Structure 1
Amino acid sequence: MTEASTSTAARAAPTPASFNDYNTALQTAALKATKHAAQLPADIPFHRSVDRAFAKDIDTASARVLALANRLLALAATTDSSAAAKRKGKARLESEEDVVDNFHAVVVDSMDQLLERADIRLDEFLGRSKPPAIAVNPAQPTAQKAKKTNALPGRLDPALQHASTLTKPQLSFKRRPDNNNMSIWHPTLKHKYNAQVPLGYNLRDDDTEENLSGQSASLHPYRYEIRHTPYPAHMFASTAPVPPRSFDATPFTWVSDSAAFDAMLEKLRGAREIAIDLEHHSYRTFAGFVCLMQISTREEDWVVDTLALRDELEALNEVFTDPRIVKVLHGAESDIVWLQQDFNLYIVNLFDTYHASKVLDFPRHGLATLLEMYCDFTADKKYQLADWRIRPLPEEMLAYARSDTHFLLYIYDNLRNALLDRGQSQSRAGTPPSSQTPHESQSQTPAAHALVREVLARSEETALRVYEKELYDYAEGGGPGGWDTLAKKWNKGALTAGAETQAGTGSVYAVQRAVYRCVHAWRDRVAREEDESTRYVLPNHYLFVLADKPPADMAALLSAFHPVPPVIRRRSKELLDAIRQAVKEAQGATKTAPADARANASVARAAAAATDAPDGDIEMSAAGEVALDPTSAGPASSTDLWAHGALTDAVNVRGLIASRAPKASAAAGSALLDNPVVARVEVKGTASFAAAGSALFGDASKMAARPSGAPVSTVRFREVVARIHGTLVIAPSVPRAPAVKSSGSPGPDVSMDGGNAADSGPALEGAVEIPFVPAAQRGRPEAVEDDSIVVVGQRRAKKRKRVPKSSKDGDEAEAVEAFDYGAVSNILDEEPEPEPEDGGAKRRKKKQGAFAGYQYGNFPAPPPARAQPQSGNQTRTFR
């Protein structure tokens, strides 16, 4: 009777009163079944094969267990709506093999998920885990759900990033943008709302105002009002933050006509705090313009189409300059400038949440960080790069624009409370405030309000920013869009300002600098004319591509772009002509020699004839000076064949002719001496060119026959020859050694420069005497007397062996017999010599010391037995 009542109670549906009894009975039954299952005998298959009835009972029980397990799996799948759970719900246990193979994957994993969800629900019921303070993510509308696009994950759809098919909206503006480089922007404010100083007047308080320029002060009509803002008292009171409502529960209005704008303005007049943000476009316009304005209060959101209401937005100054209304923005430095540039809008009583995060020493200061910190909202920042000119706006872009201001007032409440709390803590600890507002003293500011005042002071500096047009400085290249700034940013030192004096005025670098600055200026001019950004006209990296390899024709120009920008495709001839003109001017500046140097080229030839020097020994420099080739003056002082640095020694031409040309004709000597242009001779320290000209580049000897106005470029000739020499192996010229007199060979002393032996220095030991060959006969075959190899230069003197006295009389020394390596046996093939029996081991042990017992060849020790176990530290691995 008792068992029957217990089983009936167990089968009955559990109630809150009988749940404990039901749970106890359930656990008892599960434990009993588990014990019986663990105690099953191992010979069940044998009894099953013997007894047919037993086998039938076993199959029936197995089928019931499998059916019950499959039902439980189906119930577990219905409680979880995920795709993985649904796939697991379709899995079934059909046989014993399924239980053995898939029990863990099908049964155990499902039970773990059920138990984990049960633990989560129990923790939520008991209050151990609380949901976020603002349920933002569950309340997001369908507009915020990302749609499937062709863009890569984390990338913006190209159709949303650059809408190339859109008509430029600035073409329909009543007030066209002024991109003139010489014009100055001035505010055109029609009416000054909330004025403390009338429009057109600039009142300065010398006690609190810094010394500012008159032009900067006059460009900001609300300078005095911002400096003397009477902040409301509620900004310095710590109150509970007001959580924002969800997107669906918050009214939203798209403002694109005058009626909607007037309704919005009427509601903004009664607000205490408003949040503002802008969306700007700068790719298909030179100066940029605002496309959207987002405004939010505690109760409603607005997104204003600034392209349609561009001329009506100045009326917002009634609200934006009201000191009783707090204007909350994040990172407002650009927003303040854009409002002035497009709409003549100014902001009084600004609270910048970026400055608040800086004062609070947050690790990161972006708006996305504050949204995640305070609102548990993750904004998709890829829409920052979207083209906000698109009309109508896609739903995802509209939702992103709303999110920038929808939560900003709640963030403002939390930041203001954190500033007040920290200021109160610092006042109790006696920590002085870090800064002070310019128009309030320390005695007037409570210590608890110091940090809020500091944020407001920084926000005032942001609100006082003035829009200034971007002017192009062609001479210096400064400013955000200057060529010098861009070259420094890209680490192009040869193209920056001052590179002419640092890197010299070589023709190659001069051409690169000229092309870079020419293309940069052309891009700026075209961008202003067509009202396009400089990045759209010509991306930055193409500037350096064209400067490194200036194109010579249209095919080379177009092949440098991949793909060709649209503006370049239309104005390619204009760009090519500008590049050619820049190259021509740069080469003309570096190649054209002075007129005096061209007119006196014959004087250099006369000096060469007067001094009996070979062709090329005296050449005309770019400054009209005569330079001696070092091969006619003495041995080279450097082994660098391509260095052309001049020495500091200067020799007067008159002294040179008097010393080196005693047989010169009077006409040639007087022509050289009486010329006032040739003032000095530079003795160069390295080898010069072997010839003064060539059939390919022209003959320098014909320079005198040219007219005085003909362009002759010695610098260009030097550059071409230097390039040729850079690809060839040029043997050094023969140094001129003093006279060498051999004691064993008769004959007169011979000097390598054709001079007298008395003028020569000490003889070079080991040097070969080479007679002088004039330049006119160097290329003739008959001038070559001996085809033997000549060792040029002075070798180091070797220490000779002492010669016996008998050989000093002229007897030749005995010839050294050559060593025959083939007649000598190989030491590896020789047998080791046997050691003597007596005393050999002792001598070997004494010689080898501790390494005795092993000897092969001359090795001092046997190889270490790596495979054998070592004892102690005998291997000396650690010391």
Structure 2
Amino acid sequence: MTTPPETGPDETAGAAEETPEPVAPEAPRLQLRDPLPPVVDTPQALQDTCERIAAGTGPIALDAERASGYRYSQRAYLIQIRREGSGTHLVDPTAFDSLVPLDTAFDGNEWILHAATQDLMCLAEVGLYPEALFDTELAGRLLNLPRVGLAALVEHYLGLSLAKEFSAADWSTRPLPEPWLVYAALDVEVLIELRDLIDADLRAAGKREWAAEEFEALLLFQGPPERKEPWRRVSGIHKARGRRALALVREIWEARDRIAEARDTTPGRVLPDSSILELATSPPQDVTALKNMRIMRNRGPRRFASEWFDAVERGLALAEIKLPTTNQRVDGPPPPRAWADKNPVAADRLGRSREVVTAIAEEHDLPTENLISPQLVRNLAWEPPAEITTEAVGAVLREQGARGWQVGLVAAPLAEALADTSS
């Protein structure tokens, strides 16, 4: 054992004694208050569930589990429901043609969802449509909370920890393991209490009317806008240099997408993006050469070798006029980093607009992206209205989806920033 050097009295005189940083105790784990309910997967069980929900009171907490990393579709594979006086219900939507009877049982009462845009489309697929809703994640953002995940909000408001270990599980698995079902039930266990606490904070902050507009807009949510060229989202596509290589990426991506959809499996499991790029940048001369490539060693990609080679041949055979453009931005203005060269006047407008938005967001204790969509600001800066007035700017913002409260806060300052020619 090494003996520490001696320290003289003068060296320690008056020195503060080091104390370890206090470690915050771990919050107690959220537990189910009631026994885990059985999965609802028969007509009789669904009827009983509908009757119990209809007999309950107050808003309805909902959540849905998908299998995004495993399946092509975004369908729900489990729906969790909780209502006061009704308890928790775990419904298997794959066991029914539709869940319209549930929608009837909800009777127009408010839904409570966390991150509603993730679940609204898959709930609509089975016949469930909200008439009023409260999104706890979106409300947390309006309150400018540092973390707005469900587990973070549960800990912040209720002092309880919520495990999220099965969030990326394959929920198409049947039968679903009991630990997964417990996890799913916990996602709605305290959603009603959480909603009430967040609602009180919104009112105290003077933001409840803003939230109401946001929630109202969610009732019309139809999913993210469809991309004109979704194949351009291939990870690392910048490695495909030239229009011919991009054509190969497109053909292979489209072949992969067709296969993935037919097999209802996530596209990356059929052929990884990295393999698409390797095929596009080093196209094989024949099927034998393709099968000898490193990326074909796994049985999954190899079983569709003829499809990949056909896609490569199509890409190589395309006439020059049909090759895709090298411009990787087809939806809206180019990336802001290119503005200084392409349109310095617009770049200057964007800089002033961003400063204005940041200042307003700080004044109202909001994240800038919730005050106004950054894409809307870029659109305005790139192509402002012919006559830059508060009314004209407000009209453009409304047309592109901004809510009334947002327009009221930013239209006039943005009009001033866009019209400023002093620089």
TM bucket (normalised to shorter chain) is 0.5 to 0.7
Could you say if the C-alpha distance between residues 254 and 380 of structure 1 is closer, same or farther in structure 2, counting changes exceeding 3 Å?
A: same
Q: CA deviation at 1:330?
A: 0.7
SS in 1 for 2:101: helix
Q: CA deviation at 1:375?
A: 2.9
| Whole-angstrom distance in 2 between the partners of 1:256 and 1:464 | 29
SS in 2 for 1:382: coil
Task: Kindly report which structure 2 residues correspond to 1:624-773, keeping only aligned pairs within 5 A, or say none.
Answer: none
Q: CA deviation at 1:334?
A: 2.2
| Whole-angstrom distance in 2 between the partners of 1:387 and 1:321 | 32
Could you say if the C-alpha distance between residues 394 and 530 of structure 1 is closer, same or farther in structure 2, counting changes exceeding 3 Å?
A: closer
Partner of 2:198: 415
Pick from 213, 230, 246: which aligns with 1:482? Answer: 230
The amino acid across from 1:282 in the alignment is S
Partner of 1:50: none
List alignment gaps of at least 5 residues for structure 2. 1-24, 324-423
Deviations 1:725-762 (A, max 9, x none): xxxxxxxxxxxxxxxxxxxxxxxxxxxxxxxxxxxxxx
Partner of 1:62: none
Pick from 147, 152, 163: which aligns with 1:364? Answer: 147
Pick from 90, 102, 107: which aligns with 1:316? Answer: 102
SS in 2 for 1:561: helix
| Whole-angstrom distance in 2 between the partners of 1:588 and 1:276 | 50
Q: CA deviation at 1:525?
A: 2.9
Partner of 2:127: 344
Pick from 93, 108, 113: which aligns with 1:306? Answer: 93
Partner of 1:544: 277
Partner of 1:395: 178
Partner of 1:455: 211
Percent identity, please: 29
| Whole-angstrom distance in 2 between the partners of 1:521 and 1:531 | 15
Could you say if the C-alpha distance between residues 376 and 575 of structure 1 is closer, same or farther in structure 2, counting changes exceeding 3 Å?
A: same
| Whole-angstrom distance in 2 between the partners of 1:465 and 1:549 | 42
Q: CA deviation at 1:544?
A: 0.9
| Whole-angstrom distance in 2 between the partners of 1:491 and 1:519 | 13
Contact kept in structure 2, 1:321 and 1:346, CA below 8 Å: no
Report whether the alignment pairs 1:273 with 2:59. Answer: yes
| Whole-angstrom distance in 2 between the partners of 1:380 and 1:348 | 30
Could you say if the C-alpha distance between residues 522 and 332 of structure 1 is closer, same or farther in structure 2, counting changes exceeding 3 Å?
A: same
Could you say if the C-alpha distance between residues 526 and 469 of structure 1 is closer, same or farther in structure 2, counting changes exceeding 3 Å?
A: farther
Q: CA deviation at 1:377?
A: 3.0
Q: Please tell me whether Structure 1 or Structure 2 has the larger radius of gyration of its CA atoms.
A: 1
| Whole-angstrom distance in 2 between the partners of 1:579 and 1:422 | 58
SS in 1 for 2:49: helix
Deviations 1:144-165 (A, max 9, x none): xxxxxxxxxxxxxxxxxxxxxx
Task: Kindly report which structure 2 residues correspond to 1:578-593, keeping only aligned pairs within 5 A, or say none.
Answer: 578-585=311-318
| Whole-angstrom distance in 2 between the partners of 1:468 and 1:315 | 28
Q: CA deviation at 1:285?
A: 4.0
Q: CA deviation at 1:304?
A: 0.8
Pick from 508, 512, 515: which aligns with 2:245? Answer: 512
Q: CA deviation at 1:490?
A: 2.9
| Whole-angstrom distance in 1 between the partners of 2:248 and 2:36 | 57
Partner of 2:306: 573
Partner of 1:262: 47
Contact kept in structure 2, 1:371 and 1:378, CA below 8 Å: yes
Contact kept in structure 1, 2:249 and 2:280, CA below 8 Å: yes
Could you say if the C-alpha distance between residues 585 and 400 of structure 1 is closer, same or farther in structure 2, counting changes exceeding 3 Å?
A: same
SS in 1 for 2:77: strand
Contact kept in structure 2, 1:320 and 1:348, CA below 8 Å: no
Partner of 1:286: 72
Partner of 2:110: 326
SS in 2 for 1:515: helix
Q: CA deviation at 1:251?
A: 6.5
Contact kept in structure 1, 2:54 and 2:106, CA below 8 Å: no
Q: CA deviation at 1:366?
A: 1.0
Contact kept in structure 2, 1:278 and 1:293, CA below 8 Å: yes
Partner of 1:379: 162
Could you say if the C-alpha distance between residues 286 and 390 of structure 1 is closer, same or farther in structure 2, counting changes exceeding 3 Å?
A: closer
Could you say if the C-alpha distance between residues 515 and 265 of structure 1 is closer, same or farther in structure 2, counting changes exceeding 3 Å?
A: same
Contact kept in structure 2, 1:278 and 1:292, CA below 8 Å: yes
Could you say if the C-alpha distance between residues 378 and 580 of structure 1 is closer, same or farther in structure 2, counting changes exceeding 3 Å?
A: same
Normalized against structure 1, the TM-score is what? 0.31
Could you say if the C-alpha distance between residues 393 and 580 of structure 1 is closer, same or farther in structure 2, counting changes exceeding 3 Å?
A: same
Q: CA deviation at 1:588?
A: 12
| Whole-angstrom distance in 1 between the partners of 2:243 and 2:117 | 40
Q: CA deviation at 1:589?
A: 10
Q: CA deviation at 1:514?
A: 3.1
Q: CA deviation at 1:493?
A: 7.1
Could you say if the C-alpha distance between residues 574 and 254 of structure 1 is closer, same or farther in structure 2, counting changes exceeding 3 Å?
A: closer
Partner of 1:492: 238
| Whole-angstrom distance in 1 between the partners of 2:182 and 2:212 | 30
Contact kept in structure 2, 1:350 and 1:459, CA below 8 Å: yes
Q: CA deviation at 1:374?
A: 2.3
Partner of 2:10: none
Q: CA deviation at 1:351?
A: 0.8
Deviations 1:769-805 (A, max 9, x none): xxxxxxxxxxxxxxxxxxxxxxxxxxxxxxxxxxxxx
| Whole-angstrom distance in 1 between the partners of 2:204 and 2:224 | 39
Normalized against structure 2, the TM-score is what? 0.63
Q: CA deviation at 1:295?
A: 0.6
Contact kept in structure 1, 2:60 and 2:83, CA below 8 Å: yes
Q: CA deviation at 1:347?
A: 0.2
Q: CA deviation at 1:528?
A: 3.5
Q: CA deviation at 1:332?
A: 0.4
SS in 1 for 2:170: coil
| Whole-angstrom distance in 2 between the partners of 1:359 and 1:510 | 43
SS in 2 for 1:307: helix
Could you say if the C-alpha distance between residues 516 and 399 of structure 1 is closer, same or farther in structure 2, counting changes exceeding 3 Å?
A: same
Report whether the alignment pairs 1:335 with 2:119. Answer: yes
Could you say if the C-alpha distance between residues 312 and 378 of structure 1 is closer, same or farther in structure 2, counting changes exceeding 3 Å?
A: same
Q: CA deviation at 1:253?
A: 3.9
The amino acid across from 1:327 in the alignment is W
| Whole-angstrom distance in 2 between the partners of 1:385 and 1:253 | 22
Report whether the alignment pairs 1:354 with 2:137. Answer: yes
Q: What's the C-alpha RMSD, in Å, of the aligned pairs?
A: 3.0
| Whole-angstrom distance in 2 between the partners of 1:554 and 1:578 | 12
Aligned residues: 296
Contact kept in structure 2, 1:328 and 1:409, CA below 8 Å: yes
| Whole-angstrom distance in 1 between the partners of 2:41 and 2:80 | 12
Partner of 2:298: 564
| Whole-angstrom distance in 2 between the partners of 1:520 and 1:315 | 40
Contact kept in structure 2, 1:333 and 1:463, CA below 8 Å: no
Q: CA deviation at 1:358?
A: 1.6
Question: Relative to total residues, which structure has the larger helix share, 1 or 2?
Answer: 2
Contact kept in structure 1, 2:98 and 2:127, CA below 8 Å: no
Q: CA deviation at 1:521?
A: 2.3
The amino acid across from 1:484 in the alignment is R
